[in-house]
Structures are given as C-alpha cells and as structure tokens.
Structure 1
Amino acid sequence: MSKAERLGFSPERLKRIDAFLEEKYVGPGRLPCAQFVLARGGEVVHQTLLGQQDPERGVPLAEDTVFRIYSMTKPVTSVALMQLVEEGKIALDDPVHRYIPAWKDLGVFSAGVNPVFATTPPERPMQVVDLLRHTSGLTYGFQNRTNVDAAYRKLKLEAMHGEHDLESMIDMLSRVPLEFSPGEAWNYSVATDVVGYLVQTVAGKPLDVALRERIFEPLGMVDTGFFVRDDQRNRFAACYDAVLGGKMKLQDDPQKSPYLAPPKLLSGGGGLVGTAADYMRFANMLLNRGELDGARILAPKTVDLMASNHLPGGADLTEMSRSLFSESTNAGVGFGLGFAVVFDPPQTLIPCSLGEFYWGGAASTAFWVDPLEDITAVFMTQLLPSSTYPIRRELRTLVYSALMETNG
C-alpha cells in the first residue's frame, strides 16, 4: 500500500494535480512556477514542483524556494496577537484607542477629499476584534472605490519599502476617517498592519523580533522573515504581473528586489517572505490546535475561537463585504480572527468541510486547514494579482476529488 493510499487518497487522482497545473498554468506560461504541498495528519501526501523560480535566468523551482507570501502574513500576525490575549495583556473587546490614543476621536467619512474631510462619530469605538475580522472601518488604497482609499494612495500608506515605518503609518491613519462605523461591514484592509502595531506595542519588542521569538523559532520556521537574508538569495523567486493574453511581465527581479534589505515598514498584513515547508509547519500547528512537535504556540480553545465565524449576526461575506478585492470567495464563508472560515459548505459550491479555514496572498499563494479531514495544504507561486485565475478553487476540487476515505 502506498503512502497516499494509507492516508486515504487515490494516487492516480493525486497525479491529476500535477497534470492540471502543468497543462493549464505552468506549461503555457501563465504562472512562472507552482509548488503545492498536501498533508494529512501532518504527513506529506503529495508535493508538486513545476516551473522555474527565476525564469529570466533559467533557475528551476526547488523545495526550499523563498516566496513573497503577502497576505499569508496576516494569520501569523493574528496568532501573535492571540498569544498576548492569552497572557492577559490585551483583550478582544478592548477599544483600539486604549493602545493608540490618537485614534480616540477617529470619525466616519461623510464628505470631502484628503486632507479636508467631514466626519460623523462612529456608532461605537473600534475594538481589537474589529481589526482581526476586518470590520474596523479601515480600508486599502488599492480598492479604488472611495475618497478614503484615495487618501491612502496619496499618503502611500501601504508602501512596505517606502519612506515610513509602522509608527508613522499609524500616525497617518489618525488623519484619515473610517469608511464606516466599526462592526457595520466587512472590508479587506490595513487592519492587520494595525494588529502588528498592537503586537509590537503590547509585547514591547519590534514586530520582527516578536514574531521570530514567539512563532518562527519555536516552530522551526527557519526561512520566514521580513526580508531575504544573504544565505537565501539564490533561493528567492522572481515575481510577475499578469498581463493581457495570459502572459506575464517581470514585476520584481529577485537579484534587484527591495526584499533583499530589511524594510522600513514591518507589515503585519503583507510583509513576510518564506518557504512552503515553513508555512506548512505553521498550518500544521493550527491543525493541531496550537501545538507542533512539542512547541505550544496557542491553547486549543484559542485556535477554536480564531477558527469560528466572528462576523456580526453570523453573517457570511456576501452579506457584509464592501470590498472589491479579497482572497476569499464569499458564499457560505465567514471570517474568523485572521482568516476566512467555512460555515455552510454547500453554499460555497466547491468540495470543502465545515470549519475549514484559509487565506491567500496577493501573488496567488494560498493555504487551507481542514480540521474535519485532518488536511493541510500550501500553494506557492508568484503572480500578481491573485484574482487572475481561479486556481485556489480548482486545487480544492482536485484534492477532495482524490480523497477516498473521509471523516465526514
């Protein structure tokens, strides 16, 4: 019996994953590379390695290639905050202005353009939980939807390799109104960068140090951080923009990238680089409800809390989202404390499990954790934007089509 069969998968059907990725994406040049790692019970069932980490120089993809993981940073930063919640140093219902006093009188946009806005008072103060579940009233400049996100773009709030650091980002946000009253809607936003600031403030250490000491070192995530170290440079992938006609244009050359030096802005929402193996360790820690190989990161009940739908009234994202962009499909999906959560599987129209949670990054990376089936999966590539292809849904379908022995 093969390992795949022992773990409940059809080896023949798992082969479809590689064939699909090669024929549809890597072979035709729609993606530069594709690394997919699937595990059950922490054991790797299947790994795909296709394409090149640096097509311009003909460098093949390797198991230890280093990728920009963008918004897959968010669950990591959220876990760090929940560690501080466990320690009694911060609470989910705390007003954010307790830690950022300048935000105490932050109003809700009613009219105007940057820097002159008319505002109204929010219905209630922003709470820490609003930051974790994206109901804070903050936004992203790339939404291109309102006068508020236009102000974000003008201020270059999201520039990780720009002029400002985390403290100045928080200061600039104090001068821009909220898009809506906290708790009123869901909007993908810089909220997790603010979570990173809270981690830094409450832990009393820079965010990179806090994440390293609290998460990366205990879990053995040896290749994850906010920049590419000298010893990682030959493993760093090129990143591409999707252009018309299913083609790619180089967006960030790995030999000239700003990621080769420490950034000024430590972005808890999108700043990390890392490997598939590292992120699989993080995912398996979550699958194991907070522990991996003897390293206890969170208590089981804390992970359960994170992986529950926290949208007000038990709503799904179709009911609450104002975002024109997210890493999530919406029907049957809520949002927990750092990632999307499936609470009504039939509504998603794809094979999945009740309680499955997941997220992805701007360069088309993704991960998911399925506690019911004991499955973790990590997908790495480097193509912006993540909305270019429906690859995340396709991978789920391929995986669950190969799963022969189910738990529910």
Structure 2
Amino acid sequence: MRPLTVRLTLPLLLLLAPIAAADTPQIPAISEAMQKFAAAGKISGAVTLVTQDGQIMHHAADGQADLESGQPMKSDTMFAIASMTKPITATAVMMLVDEDKLSLDEPISKYLPAFADVQLKDGAALERPITLRDCLTHTAGFQGSQAFETSLADAAQDIATRSLLFQPGTKWSYSPGITVAGRIVEIVSGQPLEKFLEMRLFQPLGMNDTTFFPSKQQQARTAKIYSPGDKPGTLKYSGNPYSDPTKVKGPNPSAGLHSTASDLVKYYQMMLDGGQANGKRYVSESSVAEMTKLQTGDLETGFTAGCGWGLGFCLVRTPQGVTEMLSPGTFGHGGAFGTQGWIDPKQKMIFVLMIQRSGFGNGDDSDVRKAFQTLAVDAGKQ
C-alpha cells in the first residue's frame, strides 16, 4: 500500500480551528501557531495545554488526528508519548525507595543477577557495579534499542547480554536503563509494571486514559504518527516502533505509554506540588527533590544545550535556545514523536505539547516546542 501523502493548503485552514469546550481558557496565539505549523505540513495537528498556579490558562485542539479520514484533534485525543514514559517509571521506583524496598545506590544485580557479569565492549571488567541511580540517569553505559516486542522480563535479560559503552557513572548516554529499572519495580513489588502504575498512580490521580495497552476505543481516538512526505509541505503516515498496540506483549518502561494532555497535567501538577495531590501523597517531597535535582554533575548530556539529568527527568540548567523562556531548574521530558511535557517551578507553569510526528529531527529542540513555550510564557506574564 502506498503511504498516505497529504498536502495542507490554505482551504484546509478552515479545518484547523480549535476544538474545545466554549468555556475552556485559550491563548489564541498558540492555536494560531499550531494551525500555521499544520498548514506548512510540519504537524498534522496538536493538543496544547498550559497551567499556571494550578489553573488551566490554555487548552486547545488544532488540526487533525487522522489526515486520511479527516478525524479532527480533540481535547481527549490520545497520543503515544514514547520517552515521556521515563519520568513516570522513575516515580514508581521512588515510591519503592520511600518504602525502603529499594535503594538508589545498590547494585541492580541484586535483583537481576545477569548484570553481575556485564563487561565493557573491550572485555574489561567493571570498576564498580551498575546501580539503580545509574539506570535512572543514563550513566550505566547501556547501549542498544529501547524498543522490544517481548515481555519486560525478556527485554531486561536481553539488555544484560549487551556490553557497556563505558564504566558506570563516568559518562552519559541515552539508553534503555529505565527499562531495567521498570523490571526491578516488577520484581520488588510483585506486580506487573502496568498494574503497579495503574493502582498506585493512574487510578488515584484520575489518569483514566494513560495505559501501555490502549483499548479498541482508545486506539480509535489515538492520533496517527506522520513523517515528512515525498514533497515539501506534505506528510505521510508512519508507524510506531515503540508501542504499536498490535505488537506490544509487555509494558515498555522507557517508551510505551499512551496518554492525553489532560491526564499528563495531573501527574505533572502532583510533581510540581511536591508529590501530593488532592490530599493524597504519592511520593515523598524528598524523593521529588531527588528526582528533580542535577544528578549528572558536569557530564555532557542531551538533548539540548544547557541541560543536565535528574532521575528520569531532564533538567534545564542554563536556559538557552529552545529553553530560553524557562527558568533554571525546569524539569520534564520529550518523546520520540515530538510530545513534550515541562514543569517550571519558579513560574509555577506546566507546558504540555501533544503532536505525533517522526523524521523531523530533535523533537526537544523543535520550532514547534519553542513557539508553544514562548507564547505560553508571554501570556503568563500578562
């Protein structure tokens, strides 16, 4: 079957109007920007959400979730959030740390013995064991894909067969370390990761559309992923290598969740409020502080200049470029398909950008993200 290619021309701008409840607060400039990106063939559409001081100041859906059928973006459209899954898995780890069931600095081989025999790619032995902290900060030295079509247990065992790129803790390299951490959550809790998160985080927070295994109904309202078409200004449908519902056999702790903007902001607000929401504590204030403080020192990290790494979260150390409007200490994560979620404690703002695209370069350093955040911060200062 030939890939769908759609050129977004000016008449289609009529289809790009925001779809949201009449009383939902909106920042018109953000929708205008998303509509222009859609018309230029850079996105099919977007759901954007901004909060400040715990209140929604903008929530809009623009463009289309499915270009072939003409299905519009809606406020409850679901998205494959890819690596935005990582901080959520890290939160599960910290819940067990709070209960003294895990320690960040103990060897992961305590739970997964296969990692006791891991060597460097040159055959050298490890100077110290790999720790859970290494896994959560991408400093373990792991290499290889974060995608898998097996059980989580088998995926973790596969990672243990790969040689390390460097001695643990000496460098930073984006890796499937959080996949290993997710498997340890299963072992220690005695529950599948998806059940642990559902019972401990998603259900209590009311995140009813956040799942590793979307139902048929949820799949029907999930935005399709598009890549650049064969001609400028066009898009063509592309697949989901991380969490294709037809292939998923186990939860992917690094990249497997599907969610909505409304669900994610509940999680981010809980983190911004020090680990509690609606009178319930999910994770200790000290664990939130540990997750959102710089863990990687002076190591060079990705994915944008001036950033470092916490536990599962990327941190803005020195705002510049795409982060220039954010405060030092802002934390968040992007996803392989362009989704972004960032929390600015100083400005008390949360930014959620939901799009689905691949092949457009570094999603963390995109013009779509920069335009969205700039317009949101400008509005927040008024």
The TM tier, using the shorter chain, reads: 0.7 to 0.9
1:287 aligned partner, one-letter code: L
Q: Distance in 2 between matches of 1:403 and 1:100?
A: 47
Q: What is the aligned counterpart of 1:292 among 255, 272, 277?
A: 277
Q: Distance in 2 between matches of 1:32 and 1:346?
A: 28
Q: What is the aligned counterpart of 1:391 among 330, 352, 368?
A: 368
Note closer, same or farther for the CA distance 1:61–1:107 as it changes in structure 2 (3 Å cut).
same
Trace 1:251-290 onto structure 2 (pairs within 5 A).
251-252=238-239, 259-260=244-245, 263-290=248-275
Report what 2:343 is aligned to.
369
RMSD: 2.2
What SS does structure 1 have at the residue aligned with 2:171? coil
Offset at 1:16? Answer: 2.1
What SS does structure 2 have at the residue aligned with 1:181? coil
What SS does structure 2 have at the residue aligned with 1:52? strand
- Using the size of structure 1 for normalisation, the TM-score is 0.82
Note closer, same or farther for the CA distance 1:381–1:347 as it changes in structure 2 (3 Å cut).
closer
Offset at 1:176? Answer: 1.5
2:262 aligned partner, one-letter code: A
Trace 1:148-159 onto structure 2 (pairs within 5 A).
158-159=147-148
Q: Deviations over 1:45-65 (max 9, x none)?
A: 012311111111011111111
Q: What is the aligned counterpart of 2:28 among 4, 15, 20?
A: 15
Q: What is the aligned counterpart of 2:138 among 131, 134, 140?
A: 134
Query: Is this contact kept in 1: 2:210–2:260, CA < 8 A?
Result: yes
Q: Distance in 1 between matches of 2:332 and 2:215?
A: 28
Trace 1:199-210 onto structure 2 (pairs within 5 A).
199-210=185-196
What SS does structure 1 have at the residue aligned with 2:121? strand
Q: What is the aligned counterpart of 1:320 among 297, 300, 317?
A: 300
Offset at 1:207? Answer: 0.8
Q: Distance in 2 between matches of 1:310 and 1:330?
A: 16
What SS does structure 1 have at the residue aligned with 2:58? strand
Offset at 1:283? Answer: 0.7
Offset at 1:397? Answer: 2.1
Offset at 1:215? Answer: 0.8
Q: Distance in 2 between matches of 1:282 and 1:56?
A: 32
Q: Which runs of 5+ in 2 are unaligned?
A: 1-24
What SS does structure 1 have at the residue aligned with 2:28? helix
Q: Distance in 2 between matches of 1:37 and 1:191?
A: 30
Offset at 1:355? Answer: 1.3
Q: Deviations over 1:205-236 (max 9, x none)?
A: 11111110111011110011112213323312
1:85 aligned partner, one-letter code: V
Note closer, same or farther for the CA distance 1:83–1:258 as it changes in structure 2 (3 Å cut).
closer
Percent of matched pairs sharing the same residue: 32
What SS does structure 2 have at the residue aligned with 1:104? helix
Q: Which moved more, 1:189-198 or 1:259-268?
A: 259-268
Report what 1:186 is aligned to.
172
Q: Distance in 1 between matches of 2:345 and 2:229?
A: 37
Offset at 1:259? Answer: 4.0
Q: Which runs of 5+ in 1 are unaligned?
A: 1-10, 111-118, 142-156
Q: What is the aligned counterpart of 1:357 among 321, 331, 340?
A: 331
Trace 1:69-148 onto structure 2 (pairs within 5 A).
69-110=81-122, 119-141=123-145
Deviating runs (4+, > 6 A) in structure 1? Answer: none
Q: Deviations over 1:329-362 (max 9, x none)?
A: 132x110001111233368761111211011111
Q: Distance in 1 between matches of 2:336 and 2:52?
A: 26
Report what 1:249 is aligned to.
236
Report what 1:4 is aligned to.
none
Note closer, same or farther for the CA distance 1:267–1:53 as it changes in structure 2 (3 Å cut).
same
2:373 aligned partner, one-letter code: R
2:67 aligned partner, one-letter code: P
Q: How many equivalent pairs are there?
A: 353
Report what 1:28 is aligned to.
40
- Using the size of structure 2 for normalisation, the TM-score is 0.87
| In the alignment, structure 1 residue 329 sits paired with structure 2 residue 333 | no
Query: Is this contact kept in 2: 1:228–1:261, CA < 8 A?
Result: no
Trace 1:332-347 onto structure 2 (pairs within 5 A).
333-345=307-319
Offset at 1:262? Answer: 7.6
What SS does structure 2 have at the residue aligned with 1:228? coil
Q: Distance in 2 between matches of 1:258 and 1:72?
A: 13
Q: Distance in 2 between matches of 1:258 and 1:397?
A: 31
| In the alignment, structure 1 residue 44 sits paired with structure 2 residue 56 | yes
Q: What is the aligned counterpart of 2:72 among 60, 75, 78?
A: 60
Q: Distance in 1 between matches of 2:147 and 2:289?
A: 31
